[in-house]
Every structure is written in structure tokens, then in C-alpha cells.
Amino acid sequence: MHGASILGLLLLALPAHAQDAERGRLLYETYCGDCHYERVHERAPDRSKVHTLSDLRTTVASWAPMTKLKFTPADVDDVAEYLNRSHYKMAK
């Protein structure tokens, strides 16, 4: 087997990134808390842009450039997971 083929098989064996709500909380508190307060996530459904998990991830990703950290896709997923568990409580 060639080196690239072996590397490909090893990468396939790695687990996918599982969202980490605790890591998301730390990221949110560290990088988002300066501008956001927790109650912003408690808007009435008719005033919120977030209705699905996809909306939540998109919203987190759209605000991520405003932070002092360049969020990775895993960071966005972790913050969205934290916000879903702590505020939105949408089924997966």
C-alpha cells in the first residue's frame, strides 16, 4: 500500500468531531460575552432568526469574525452546541 493510501485509511478511522458543549461555553464566555449577554438568546420565537440547528450554526458562524479569535468550524459547532443545550433546546 502506498503512504498516501495508508494515511487516507488512518484519517477515515479518526472519529468525527463531536460537539463539545463545555468547550463551546468557554469559547462563548471568552470571545462572545463582551458583546452578547445571555438574554439575547431568549428572544420570542417571532423575533429570533434561529429556528433550527442549521440557523443556529449559521448565526454563530456569521458573528464569529467579530471575535478576537478566528473560529474554526469545530469552534462554531461547539458554541452552537452550548447555545442549543443552554438556551434553544432544539432536537437534533
Return the domain boundaries, the chain.
Answer: 19-88
What is the average pLDDT score of the chain? 81
Q: What is the pTM of this model?
A: 0.76
- Please report the pLDDT score of residue 40 as a whole number: 79
Residue 22, H or E segment: helix 21-27
Longest dimension (CA), the chain: 57
Mean pLDDT within 51-72: 92
In Å, how far from its chain's centre is CA 46?
A: 23
